[in-house]
Amino acid sequence: MNKTGEEVEVQIKELRERPGHYIKLAEAGAEIIITSHGAQKARLVPMDEPKTTARGRHFNQQAEKKGFLFGIWGERNDMQDVPEYVRSLREGRSF
Would you give per-residue pLDDT tens digits along the chain (95 residues)? Answer: 455 678 999 999 999 999 999 999 998 999 999 999 999 999 998 887 766 666 666 655 655 565 555 555 656 676 677 788 788 888 877 66
Please tell me the total number of residues recorded for the chain in this structure.
Answer: 95
Residues whose CB falls within 8 Å of the CB of residue 23, separated by 6 or more in sequence, listed in order: 44
pLDDT at 43: 93
Q: Could you give the domains of the chain?
A: 7-44 (3.40.1620.10), 54-90 (no CATH)
Q: What is the DSSP letter of 5?
A: T
Alpha helices in the chain (DSSP H): 12-17, 19-27, 54-66, 82-90
pLDDT at 1: 47
